[in-house]
Amino acid sequence: MRHLVRPQANSCRETLGALNFRPTKSSTLAVACPASAEVLGRISGGRGYGFRALKPPETAENEADAPFTRPAPSPDYLDIDRTHTDLARVLRNLYRRSTQAYLDQGLSVLYLAFGTLDWMDVDNTRFRSPLLLVPVRLTAEGPKAPPRLEPTDDDTVVNPVLALKLDQCGITLPSADALEDGTLSSFLDAARSAVAEHKGWSVGDDLVLSYFSFNKEAMYRDLKENEDRIAKHDAVAAVALGGGRSAISGRFAFEEIRDGEIDEKAAPETTPVILDADSSQRACIAAALAGKSFVMDGPPGTGKSQTIANIIGALLHKGKTVLFVSEKAAALDVVRNRLADVGLHSYLLELHSSKATRKQVAEELGTALTNELVPPDALAGLTVQQALQGRQQLNAYADAMNRPREPLNYSLHQVLGIIALLNGVPAAPLAGIPMTDLTVAKYTEVKSTAKALADAWRPARQGATFAWRGVSQQGSLEALLYQATSALATLSGTAGYNAALGEAVGLTRPSDAPALAVLLDHHSARPPVLPGDWLTTDHLKGVGDSIGRLDSSLTEIGTAEHEATDAAGTPWQVVPRSADLPAVPDLTGTFPRFPDLANRQAAQIAALAGRFRTGAGHRPAAGPDAGPSPSDVIRPPGRRRRCCTPTPW
């Protein structure tokens, strides 16, 4: 099995987080001032620090308008070479990460790292590892208050991952106990001496605040130091080889106690249970007392933590020592609280979170050694006997309720459930069959008759108003279904041609086909000049405006028609079209030559005008060769004929 265990150990070593330290801007703060030795002395003395930024704000547009003065060194503050905004962001990140790790796993991951070792592995890979790790924590007095750095009760340690790695190379780093007799500088000098023979290795006196996680180091060390013992363990072999692939896994197989046998094989009188437990939980307790290895699985809220507390209590009663391990600190606290509530607090030794310090462990061990525990009084024999009788009666009742009975093979519990479902059913006359004589065949007949009656109950109650009254099945049901399916497909295909119109008016179901057909008839009768937006508008205001404009236009046309008739003396409809009129004769030679008045005297022109006026009053008889009268030759302006038809003279 060693070839199976060793890869797991190497895997843990490769994931050790404090071996190669890579500072990041979001999770590492380099301390510029005070000196490392001064900081270590103050933290070791139980005193904390505030934080100050040494860089000016980046938002200042003009340094003259926003001067920044670099603060003088102070023994109460750690000076960080960051801006105030950047410093606050990193501190929030460190506070959130360290607090979450402590709440989830009970681990302190925030450390002040004093000194670093720059070194190379056997394959010439460069590493940078912190040397001395001092656990600290960040506290804040309020939501907007800047956090402070405070010491914890945890022990100062030399980087355990680095110490383990260098030990494999034959290099021994000085221990943290050397600080009690010396200073930080002496510790760093001892580290330099330990690596002096290795070319290219150096020890620096850097001081950084960051989080480091090396909780897997203990697992790795345990695997390395106990490799043979672990490889020989049956549980490890079964896990490594798989459940059903080896004979080793058969050693863990056992038959779980069934619910109906739990009181016989694991009676409460012989199984000490400190908390309430059902039959499945008691089966787990019995398996643990029997030394079986198993996995207890179940969804949240099913009592796994309570069962673990019961198992621990039962094993303590048996004189066993129990190690309860969990990745989550909350699971440890839940089980601890359940055991403490029943008076077993003095039997518990917590080895996680703040309870794992040397001082706390020593105090707990001292309390356990000096306190004398007094066990509670046992139950009286009469009380135990009464509890036994009560349990037997309850078991007998449960068996009577759930045991299937002939001839229907139903339990009383099932029968009561069936009757409960019939609470809203009207009472029916008895079938005349005694309950003791009810067989499976008779019960089936009763159910069939009741079903037939239920099918006919609605038609009988509704009478002539029943929608399907008088309808009888003719022909094969499969043929009818085929015809109906075909008709529905045809109807759907027809409606598909007008899917857009159906979607627009909300007629999409097959039952809407008649309404859609009526709408299509209206659509086909629509005048071609009808605007399309009249059919989709939300109101008829635009249609009314168009009708009003049309009415006004028609009124104006009628008025103009009447005025034309009055002026012409005849309706315009009887006036012939220009194409129907005879050709206009050439009247060029009809009119006499216009007299030449260029050389006339005024008296002569006046006499000629008088003659024209006298001649205008005499109209000659009309004749085919008659020419126009003088009045036709010289007509006063503005006078018009009242008819378009030529009038003979």
Residue 196 covered by a domain: yes
Amino acid at 66: A
At residue 345, φ and ψ (nearest 5 deg) are -65, -35
The answer for residues whose C-beta is within 8 angstroms of residue 34's C-beta and 6 or more apart is 73, 75, 78, 79
Structure confidence at residue 338 (pLDDT): 93
366 with 385, same domain: the answer is no
209 with 284, same domain: the answer is no
Residue 42 covered by a domain: yes
Give the total number of structural domains in the chain: 3
Q: Which of 266, 369, 368, 351 is nearest to 310 (CA)?
A: 266
Residue 496 covered by a domain: no
At residue 112, φ and ψ (nearest 5 deg) are -90, 120
Residue 246 covered by a domain: no
Residue 593 covered by a domain: no
Q: Are 313 and 375 in contact (CB under 8 A)?
A: no
Residues 297 and 409: their CA atoms lie apart, in Å, by: 34
Q: Which of 173, 533, 534, 215 is nearest to 353 (CA)?
A: 215
Residue 388 covered by a domain: yes
Helix (H), strand (E) at residue 116: strand 110-120
Of 327, 344, 370, which residue constitutes the final position of a domain? Answer: 370
78 with 207, same domain: the answer is yes
Structure confidence at residue 283 (pLDDT): 92
Residue 485 covered by a domain: no
CA dihedral 70, 74, 77, 78 (to 10 degrees): 70
393 with 344, same domain: the answer is no
The token duo for 40 is 């270590």
Q: Are 355 and 102 in contact (CB under 8 A)?
A: no
294 with 201, same domain: the answer is no
Q: Are 354 and 360 in contact (CB under 8 A)?
A: yes
For the chain, report the end-to-end CA distance as a whole number of angstroms. 147
The answer for residues whose C-beta is within 8 angstroms of residue 562's C-beta and 6 or more apart is none
92 with 208, same domain: the answer is yes
At residue 142, φ and ψ (nearest 5 deg) are -160, 170
Q: Are 82 and 53 in contact (CB under 8 A)?
A: yes
pTM confidence score: 0.53
Structure confidence at residue 637 (pLDDT): 42
Of 370, 391, 412, which residue constitutes the final position of a domain? Answer: 370
The token duo for 612 is 């024209």
Structure confidence at residue 5 (pLDDT): 53
43 with 96, same domain: the answer is yes
130 with 265, same domain: the answer is no
Q: Are 190 and 174 in contact (CB under 8 A)?
A: yes
The answer for residues whose C-beta is within 8 angstroms of residue 423's C-beta and 6 or more apart is none
The answer for residues whose C-beta is within 8 angstroms of residue 579's C-beta and 6 or more apart is none
Q: Does residue 132 sit in helix, strand or coil?
A: strand
Residue 572 covered by a domain: no
85 with 209, same domain: the answer is yes
185 with 280, same domain: the answer is no
Q: Which of 42, 103, 102 is nearest to 76 (CA)?
A: 42
Number of residues assigned to the chain: 649
At residue 52, φ and ψ (nearest 5 deg) are -135, 145
Per-residue pLDDT of 498-530, as tens digits, reads: 777 777 778 777 778 788 788 878 777 777 777
DSSP result, 192-248 = HHHTTTSTT-EEEEEEEEEE---THHHHHHHHHHTHHHHHH-HHHHHHHH-TTSSSG
90 with 29, same domain: the answer is yes
Per-residue pLDDT of 207-242, as tens digits, reads: 999 988 776 777 777 777 787 888 778 777 777 766
Residue 529 burial (10 A CB sphere; 0-12, 13-18, 19+)? exposed
DSSP result, 445-495 = HHHHHHHHHHHHHHHHHHGGG-TTTT----S-HHHHHHHHHHHHHHHHHHH
- Residue 98: domain span: 17-60+69-213
Residues 311 and 272: their CA atoms lie apart, in Å, by: 9
Q: Are 68 and 57 in contact (CB under 8 A)?
A: yes
Give the chain's residues under pLDDT 50: 14, 16-17, 60-64, 621-649
Residues 260 and 583: their CA atoms lie apart, in Å, by: 129
Which residues sit opposite 120 in a β-bridge? Answer: 126
Structure confidence at residue 387 (pLDDT): 83
195 with 340, same domain: the answer is no
